[in-house]
């Protein structure tokens, strides 16, 4: 009899291999270079069996997004046959934001549905008024981009030409959208082939998958049993255009984890609202990071985490509230506040806050007769740790992407980079200092619309146990019209204008000199 562990590891690798296929065949640098994508293998019941180690905000939300999508298909009477695939970017279904296009691909073995391959990929543009489809001024999702409801993008193995035409007609860089969609479908086929190979070799492994899920649940509960029971509260603040919006959590540790966000700010007429999938993802990430054992990140682990988020709040908005930055910035603050609560339950085990912003840079315009859209996030410093300093120049918490190589960006876009270095001294002082942030600067070589979405401009990442906070973020645009600081806003750039991005350092741990 084959072991559940062997089958689980083979399934996990199937997800990893599908992710590699997606990366290698993607059109846009955001996916090809930055790896802004994720893959999961889902069983016939809709449970996450295995995930590739990709983007935390994608992975935890996949648990919610798959359930939402399968419920939608059942409600609408939509059945999936062999060779079909469903696509959507509706954040209130898929669980993140419009740029994350989700594809669900059913896997059949001997004529029976046995699994799904779920992929998410951040498309560099999904329509809307601004390049890269992330609008700091949006009040609803309709001002961010085009909402594509669940639609069969594949039917019997053939592309749905009508749906594809709708997408490419409304996305500002249709060649990138088409190329990245083909990459997702290719990855889905690779994942499906690997899953079928597992079934061909070992027979129906549904039982072994169930054992792997149950093992994940037992192991998670076993680790949580080592934590002190009780309720631990914390509050952190999302700074947005001069406002400090509280995110409060009451974390109850018992037979599982319950995160209650009562008292959090109400939803806003701005893009910083985080759909429930994002909130769940951030909570589960923080809990998973604090566990001592290597717990499989599948449905078994996710089943021990419960999120209570008041409807109509910043962390569970009502459609059609805008959510573009909720996935990016609010997710970071949710993770921060859960870590802060955990630091009270687990003193000496939780690091100080990391940079706390993805520092999203969106640009585009018309160059050489064609529209272009560019998106990247810029790393910062991680927090000082109980046993050592933080790390400089890394992505923290809910993003796990790489940087866009300067050579690629300069080759494909009208950009000239002028600086890329560590922001020395930006990490908070402490017994173990916070890691330093990054300075990344560039000039535009053509008229460009620039948008910045970021946070930690007012309050630097907090320190722990007497450690000092890291330095806040700063973005400056320097050009013929002088020098101006930009927080989360959209500005028009002229050729030769320079943008200087400075990201926060992490907080320090322990008193300086202690």
What is the pLDDT tens value at each position of the chain, 514 positions in all?
578 899 999 999 999 999 999 999 999 999 999 989 999 999 999 999 999 877 777 888 999 999 999 999 999 999 999 999 999 999 999 999 999 999 999 999 999 999 999 999 999 999 999 999 999 999 999 999 999 999 999 999 999 999 999 999 999 999 999 999 999 999 999 999 999 999 999 999 999 999 999 999 999 999 999 999 999 999 999 999 989 999 999 999 999 999 999 999 999 999 999 999 999 999 999 999 999 888 999 999 999 999 999 999 999 999 999 999 999 999 999 999 999 999 999 999 999 999 999 999 999 999 999 999 999 999 999 999 999 999 999 999 998 788 899 999 999 999 999 999 999 999 999 999 999 999 999 999 999 999 999 999 999 999 999 999 999 999 999 998 889 999 999 999 999 999 999 999 999 999 998 7
Alpha-carbon span 98 to 394, nearest angstrom: 25
φ and ψ at residue 133, rounded to 5 degrees: 60, 25
DSSP state, residue 328: I
Rounded to 5 degrees, what are φ and ψ at 244?
Answer: -115, 105
CB distance 249 to 261 below 8 Å: yes
Quote the pTM value: 0.97
Q: Could you identify the residue written with the tokens 């970071």?
A: 332
Three-class DSSP category at 87: strand
Per DSSP, what are the bridge partners of residue 377?
360
pLDDT at 57: 79
Residues 6+ apart with CB under 8 A from 86: 69, 73, 78, 80, 103, 104, 150, 151, 152, 153
Dihedral pair phi/psi, residue 12, rounded to 5°: -60, -40
- The number of CA neighbours under 13 Å toward the Cβ of 440 is 21
Instruction: Output the pLDDT for position 293.
Output: 86
167/172 Cα distance (integer angstroms): 10
Q: How far apart are CA 98 and CA 511, in angstroms?
A: 43
SS3 60: helix
Cβ neighbour number for residue 1 with a 10 Å cutoff? 7
| Distance (Å, whole) CA 5 – CA 429 | 44
What is the rounded distance in angstroms from the CA atom of residue 269 to the CA atom of residue 39?
32
Number of helices followed by number of strands (H, E) in the chain: 11, 20
Structure token pair of residue 90: 């509706």
Structure-derived torsion over alpha carbons of residues 131, 136, 138, 140, reported in degrees to the nearest 10: 100
- For the purposes of burial, counting CB atoms within 10 Å of the CB of 303, is it exposed (0-12), middle (13-18) or buried (19 or more)? middle
Q: Please measure the distance between the N-terminal and C-terminal CA atoms of the chain and give it in whole angstroms.
A: 56
What percent of the chain is helix, strand and coil (3-state, nearest 5)?
30, 30, 40
The answer to whether 504 and 421 are in contact (CB under 8 A) is: no
**CB 475 within 8 Å of CB 485:** yes
CA distance 430 to 385: 10
């Amino acid at each position: 009899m084959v072991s559940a562990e062997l089958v689980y590891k083979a399934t996990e690798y199937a997800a990893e291999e599908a992710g590699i296929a997606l990366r290698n065949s993607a059109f846009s640098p955001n996916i090809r270079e930055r790896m802004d994508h994720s893959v999961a293998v889902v069983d016939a019941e809709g449970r996450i069996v295995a995930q590739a180690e990709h983007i935390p905000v994608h992975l935890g939300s996949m648990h919610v997004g798959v359930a939402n999508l399968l419920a939608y298909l059942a409600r609408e009477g939509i059945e999936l046959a062999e060779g079909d695939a469903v696509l959507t970017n509706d954040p209130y279904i898929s669980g993140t934001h419009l740029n994350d296009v989700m594809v669900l691909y059913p896997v059949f073995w001997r004529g029976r549905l046995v699994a799904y391959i779920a992929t998410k990929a951040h498309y560099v543009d999904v329509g809307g008024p601004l390049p890269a489809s992330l609008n700091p001024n949006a009040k609803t999702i309709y001002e961010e981009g085009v909402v594509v409801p669940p639609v069969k993008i594949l039917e019997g193995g053939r592309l749905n030409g009508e749906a594809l035409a709708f997408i490419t007609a409304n996305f500002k860089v249709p060649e990138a959208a088409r190329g990245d969609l083909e990459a997702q479908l290719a990855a889905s086929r690779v994942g499906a082939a690997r899953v079928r190979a597992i079934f061909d070799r070992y027979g129906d492994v549904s039982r072994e998958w169930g054992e792997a899920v149950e093992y994940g649940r037992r192991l998670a509960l076993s680790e949580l049993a080592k934590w002190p029971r009780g309720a631990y509260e914390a509050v952190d603040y999302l700074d947005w255009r001069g406002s400090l919006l509280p995110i409060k959590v009451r974390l109850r540790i018992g037979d599982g984890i319950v995160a209650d966000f009562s008292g959090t700010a109400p939803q806003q007429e701005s893009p910083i609202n985080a759909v429930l999938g994002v909130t769940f993802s951030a909570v589960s990430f923080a809990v998973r990071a604090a566990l001592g054992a290597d717990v499989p990140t599948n449905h078994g682990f996710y089943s021990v985490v419960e999120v209570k988020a008041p409807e109509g709040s910043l962390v569970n908005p009502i459609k059609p509230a805008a959510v573009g930055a909720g996935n990016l910035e609010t997710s970071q603050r949710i993770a921060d506040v859960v870590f802060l609560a955990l630091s009270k339950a687990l003193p000496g085990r939780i690091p100080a806050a990391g940079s706390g912003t993805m520092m999203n840079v969106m640009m585009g315009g018309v160059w050489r007769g064609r529209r272009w859209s560019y998106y990247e996030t810029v790393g910062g410093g991680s927090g000082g740790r109980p046993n050592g300093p933080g790390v400089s120049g890394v992505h923290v918490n809910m993003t796990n992407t790489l940087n866009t190589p300067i050579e690629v960006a300069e080759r494909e876009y009208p950009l000239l980079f002028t600086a890329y270095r560590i922001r020395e001294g930006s990490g908070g002082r402490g017994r173990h200092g916070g890691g330093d942030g990054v300075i990344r600067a560039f000039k535009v070589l053509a008229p460009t619309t620039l948008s910045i979405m970021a946070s930690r401009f007012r309050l630097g990442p907090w320190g722990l146990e007497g450690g000092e906070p890291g330095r806040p973020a700063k973005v400056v645009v320097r050009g013929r019209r002088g020098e101006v600081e930009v927080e989360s806003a959209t500005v028009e750039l002229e050729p030769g204008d320079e943008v200087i991005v400075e990201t926060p350092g992490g907080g320090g741990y322990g008193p300086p000199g202690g």
